[in-house]
Amino acid sequence: MSEVEKALQTFHSLKVKQVMPPLASMPIVTKDSPVVDVLKLLRTRHHVWVVNNRDDMKLEGVIRYINIVDVLLPPELQKARLGNISHLFKSILGGADRAEHVMERNVLTINEDASVLEALTKMKRYKVPLLAIIDENGKLVGEISLRILVNEFMRLMRIGGAQWSQSGSSSQSE
């Protein structure tokens, strides 16, 4: 077995709680936080987690950078579709003033004891680069992203001394 294969095998067997960043470094607001606070965080982040309160940390939703378009547009420029008018009410001009008004409620989660392989499989299945990590009580304890996973795999490669050699590269020297 090659060094790269060994690194991948080790990587896949890690628990997501072993590679997740500290909770203090995550962008988190409570559901009653002003939308302005969310926007401040989104200036430097791609998402913000929404919890019920700082004590319980029960995951309520997520606000993604891309969804802020709905918040900034006036309601009359939103296209209402039959059965889906919720995005009309996400506009600041439509009355959205707290995080709970603009968050996505259906958040993809994974248990803190799940493996990296399980996280990667879920990301692929649902075509998402980010999962909330929760404990058995639905408490937000971390996050795992494709970027975090790539960084961890590269760290394992350096520690193990594995060299990545890509055959068939267009930059081969002869």
CATH assignment of the domain containing 14:
3.10.580.10
More confident residue, 95 or 39: 39
Confidence of residue 61 (pLDDT cuts 50, 70, 90): very high
**Both ends of the chain: CA-CA distance in Å?**
28
* Alpha carbons 63 and 72: distance in angstroms, whole number: 13
Give the mean model confidence (pLDDT) for residues 16-31. 96
Tell me the residue length of the chain.
Answer: 174
> Is position 173 within any domain?
no
Q: Residues 64-90: what's their mean pLDDT?
A: 67
Chain segment 140-151, per-residue pLDDT in tens: 999 999 999 999
Greater confidence (166 vs 86) lies with 86
Distances (CA, A) of 75 to 42, 68, 101: 21, 13, 14
Number of domains in the chain: 1
Q: Is residue 46 part of a domain?
A: yes
Whether residue 136 is contained in a domain is answered as yes
Residues 6, 106 contacting (CB under 8 angstroms): no
18 in a structural domain? yes
How distant is the alpha carbon of residue 144 from its chain centre? Answer: 6
171 lies in a domain? no
Evaluate whether residue 167 is within a structural domain: no
Whether residue 7 is contained in a domain is answered as: yes
In a domain, 168, yes or no: no
79/11: higher pLDDT:
11
Residue range of the domain that includes 112: 3-160
Q: What is the pLDDT of residue 173?
A: 40
